[in-house]
Amino acid sequence: MRVGALAHETDFEGWRLAARQFRTEGLRPDQVRFAVGAETAQNGLFDIYFPPTPVEGKSAQEFVVPKAFVDLAGSVILHRSEDRFDLLYRLLWRLREEPNLIRIVSDADVADAMERAKNVSRASHKMKAFVRFRQAFDNAGERWVAWFEPAHRVLEMTAPFFARRFANMRWSILTPDGAAVWDTDALTFGPPATRDMAPAEDEIEAFWKTYYASTFNPARLKTKTMQGEMPKRYWKNLPEASLIPELVARSSVRTDDMVAAPASTPNARLDKTLARMGRDASFDEGFVPSNLDELDRAVQACRRCPLWRDTTQGVCGAGARKAPLMIVGEQPGDQEDLSGQPFIGPAGQVLDAALDEAGIDRGDAFVTNAVKHFKHEPRGKRRIHKTPAVSEVSACRWWLDAERRLVKPKVIVTLGSTAALGVLGRKVAVTKERGVALTQPDGARVLLTVHPSYLLRIPDAASKAAERERFVADLKRVRTLL
Ligand code: URA
């Protein structure tokens, strides 16, 4: 076992040099580990590698990794998880064989790294929102000091924001990871601090409390959302947070007074569906469902793109929960939107007949769509299908990927180019890649074919029959892969 000795918890340069060295030596992920500081010095059992200083390191054998990986790694290293260095080394190791790995967001390691990077970015945002300076004085005069406990190690990444924002003030932000000090000219970083090093209270506190109480709108209170935005872990350092419990308790009384008439609803049909499902409508962007029922409920609250506004409901996948085969279409159509079930309209009938002919039982498969809400435009009384935009497909990949993680299909068949985009994460010419079984990093095989509604649109009977035969042949191929 080789151990990469890192100088401190966010020693990205040290990790890079050690990882590069290990990778060059051909050491597999299970043959290396990384450890910070003193821990390694005491560890006589292992062969410890101390990375050279960055200048010496330049001569180390170089190999090229995508910039996207370097950026991702730079964020992930700030995550508080112990195994972050190992995860990054695993990705680095795999990059040589899979140079496009970082683009495959359905890959478990990539998804894990992206999730951690997202948490880090969120912690930085929270820091920008919730640092509260308190007034202090030293020999040079007024100085502002804040105590803050970031969820991840984001002090160095976030401090420049405060230097720009409060350029003319002398301030320090003290955290358990270190301190940032701005003297109106230069930003420096010091050792970890403790809460008692920051002043406890000042008159500015009263200002925050007054401000917060006056801007608090009880009619808009959603406790869950509020706690998502202002997680409880930050409350203890926010002067205004001491008001929250009382304001929340009083809110229903105040709301009753304020609301004279019921609010109008933008989409009565959606509201009815939601009421029927009895779901909690608050949308939590980071929520990761642990089963398909949770996923279904969460999709109903999804606000990742605007498509939900004009629909009856989100339509998730249906079928066998641990299906070896996943069939992915584009998006629900009119009937699917009304019923909440995928592929039950005309395209669904074409699909069912073709599956039958190919010897595949739809009941053994999990049938879903790349986009979970029906995109359409009204024409008279009808709702006419509109192809979802790339941004909508990308936004919805969160759910498709979650379905993939839960169902774990061996084979995925994509119907049409939107489905292929949703599954592969890249634009695809279906006619070029049709019928080729692509192997995904999670081991799943993906087979691309056309969408059944394409068959419905072919006017000429002979061409229609020929195309249908090709479609059935693709599905037979799917069967052999299974
Ligand atoms: N078309 C699709 O792509 N999916 C459906 O669920 C219905 C029609």
Average pLDDT over residues 387-398: 94
Sequence letter at residue 15: W
How far is Cα 172 from Cα 148, in angstroms, rounded to an integer?
10
Of 316, 336, 355, 449, the residue with max ligand 1 atoms within 8 A of its CB, to mutate for a pocket test, comes to 336
pLDDT > 90 in the chain, percent: 56
Q: 202-206, 331-335, 399-403: which has the minimum mean pLDDT?
A: 202-206
The model's pTM is: 0.48
Average pLDDT over residues 213-220: 55
Domains in the chain with CATH codes: 2-125 (no CATH), 132-197 (no CATH), 216-257 (no CATH), 268-481 (3.40.470.10)
Closest approach atom of ligand 1 to CA 451: 3
Give the pLDDT confidence of 56-86 residue by residue, as tens digits: 444 445 568 899 999 999 999 999 999 999 9
Closest among 402, 406, 425, 405 to 414, alpha carbons compared: 425
Give the model's pLDDT for residue 259. Answer: 43
Tell me the pLDDT band of 276, cut-offs 50, 70 and 90: low
Closest among 393, 395, 227, 385 to 303, alpha carbons compared: 395
| Ligand 1 centroid to residue 330 C-alpha, Å | 6
| Ligand 1 centroid to residue 443 C-alpha, Å | 26
Judge whether residue 202 has pLDDT over 70: no
| Ligand 1 centroid to residue 395 C-alpha, Å | 18
Ligand 1 pocket, Cβ-based, cut-off 6 angstroms: 329-333, 336, 342-343, 345, 347-348, 369
Average pLDDT, the chain: 84
Judge whether residue 144 has pLDDT over 90: no
Tell me the pLDDT band of 225, cut-offs 50, 70 and 90: low
Q: In this structure, are residues 313 and 338 in contact, taking their beta carbons and an 8 Å threshold?
A: no
| Ligand 1 centroid to residue 400 C-alpha, Å | 14
Return the axis-axis angle of helices 390-407 and 416-424, rounded to nearest 10°.
60
Q: Where are the alpha helices (DSSP H) in 107-203?
A: 108-130, 155-165
